[in-house]
A and B are shown apart, each in its own frame.
Chain A
């Protein structure tokens, strides 16, 4: 069974601080996605990474796919209250018939 473990489960920091959240697995994924979910809404895609070692930047957010395509990280620089939300990673592979396997999420709160 493929699993994605996200850490930490919960993180509360002050505005302006930097943070990194992680998404780890013992399985190899063809692609990995990060979504953000705000209260009362569904998840919204932030980024898709497909190549081992790939780094993508979205303003203050930096996403990295591990060289072995088993893990990923999300780094936020100078966090803002608008970054508050539940961050979910999801991976797809041939083993999952390319259906997304989801992590349980990191709940992030940025205090003003």
Chain B
């Protein structure tokens, strides 16, 4: 138990569906992240939120839409996805401190997404 929960753990959706992934952190951290993990590929950073403000958007297609209503919750809204979007979607949180180059990221267990 890392203090970061994700729901659902598994999701199968068609290309025309709309669904949302939810992440909640119970660690009091100020930063939250969405990553995409595909087999044999490096983790791809998708979005970063710091104090609820989006600070990174790594050229992610608009069919992925993040939402961060507060420092503890993060959502990833999905619509009209493609089969190549099938992957493990990981949420993480950290306490980013000004002047420090490295922080520890705490990950949730991920949502295994399959797009048919």
Contact B92 A42 (CB under 8 A): yes
A2 CB → nearest B CB, Å:
11
Interface with B: A58-66, A73-81, A98-106, which one? A98-106
Contact A43 B102 (CB under 8 A): no
Contact A48 B42 (CB under 8 A): no
Contact A30 B110 (CB under 8 A): no
Count residues of B near A (Cβ-Cβ below 8 Å). Answer: 20
Please report which residues of chain B, range 1-52, place their CB below 8 angstroms from some CB of chain A when the two chains form the complex. Answer: 2, 4, 40-43, 45, 48
Please measure, in the bound complex, the distance between the C-alpha atom of A44 and the C-alpha atom of B4, giving whole angstroms.
12
Pick from B4, B42, B102: contact of A33, CB below 8 A: B102
Please measure, in the bound complex, the distance between the C-alpha atom of A111 and the C-alpha atom of B65, giving whole angstroms.
42
B53 CB → nearest A CB, Å:
15
B96 CB → nearest A CB, Å:
9
A20 at the interface (CB under 8 A from B): no
Please measure, in the bound complex, the distance between the C-alpha atom of A41 and the C-alpha atom of B92, giving whole angstroms.
12
B108 at the interface (CB under 8 A from A): yes
Please report which residues of chain B, range 80-113, place their CB below 8 angstroms from some CB of chain A when the two chains form the complex. Answer: 90, 92, 101-102, 104-110
Chain A residues with a Cβ under 8 A of chain B: 4, 9, 30-31, 33, 40-45, 48, 50, 88, 90, 92-94, 97-105
